[in-house]
Amino acid sequence: MTKTSRNNLQLAIDGPAGAGKSTVAQMVAHELGMFYLDTGAMYRVISYKVLKNRVLPEDELAVTKIAQETEIAFDHSNRDIVLCDGEIVSNQIRTPEVSRTVSIVAAYAGVREQLVKSQRLEAAKGNVVMDGRDIGTFVLPDADIKIFLTASTEERATRRLQEIKATGIDTTYQEVLKDMKNRDRSDSEREHSPLRPAEDSIIIDTTQLSIEEVVKKIVSLVLNTRNAK
């Protein structure tokens, strides 16, 4: 299953919002001692800064300029910490307002081009687990293993609601479900790198699976691939 001559192993995990990508990817990375990069958080950081600076999300040029000027960093000793220009924004980037804005921001080719550069540089540093919506199709098309996680819209909305409430933000299931459906539509219909499984991806429906069961499946796939390399 080796796709290139490189020595490092790349695992791409894609899927729609609320499918469990970030949680699964972090746990898989921890189990296997691999580096985890949350690409979705990077787009959320840009969305957060757009809102903070009172820039219209529909102003593509202004949003792209923000992406080019923003420093995004992760605390490697605590993967829950995300920084925007040195400021910890781990909770701020998970608000419903950011969730509604991120699909607009992530659709801009200039924004994606800027962030993809950073993502590919990180992926070249060692064994990496990367999750997002176009990792296997665009960011890391030669990844050794490509996983596409999915789940019913209702289940994904329930999961996202729990995440939001855990940060102390008050919202409703109906509001989250509506945002989820809008995000799915925007992600799948965008012109640049739309959400879809790569042709060689392994699709896992997580609706009836626990996080631990999903992680076990993926870890097994990675170990088998490592042994084959």
Q: For residue 1, what pLDDT band results from cuts at 50, 70 and 90?
A: very low
Matching residue, tokens 């701020």: 92
Q: For residue 79, what pLDDT band results from cuts at 50, 70 and 90?
A: low
Q: Which two tokens stand for residue 38?
A: 């949350």
Q: What is the pLDDT of residues 80-135, one digit of tens each?
A: 788 999 999 999 999 989 988 998 998 899 999 999 998 898 788 788 999 988 89
Q: Is the pTM above the cut of 0.95?
A: no
Q: What is the pLDDT of residues 38-58, one digit of tens each?
A: 888 899 999 999 999 999 999
Helix, strand, coil shares of the chain, percent, nearest 5, are 50, 15, 35
The answer to whether 160 and 17 are in contact (CB under 8 A) is yes
Cα–Cα nearest to 187, from 76, 62, 103, 99? 103
- The phi and psi torsions of 221 (rounded to 5 degrees) equal -65, -45
H or E stretch covering 115: helix 109-123
What residues pair up with 145 in beta bridges, in sequence order?
11
The answer to whether 147 and 14 are in contact (CB under 8 A) is yes
Task: Look up residue 105 and give its DSSP letter.
Answer: H
Q: Which two tokens stand for residue 91?
A: 């909770």
> Which residues have a Cβ under 8 Å from the Cβ of 88 and sit 6 or more positions away?
81, 82
H or E stretch covering 156: helix 153-166
Q: Which two tokens stand for residue 180?
A: 């989820």
The answer to whether 63 and 115 are in contact (CB under 8 A) is no
| Residue 34 CB-half CA count within 13 A | 28
Distance CA 122, CA 117 (A): 9
Distance CA 114, CA 109 (A): 9
pLDDT at 3: 55
Given a cut of 80, whether residue 152 has pLDDT beyond it is: yes
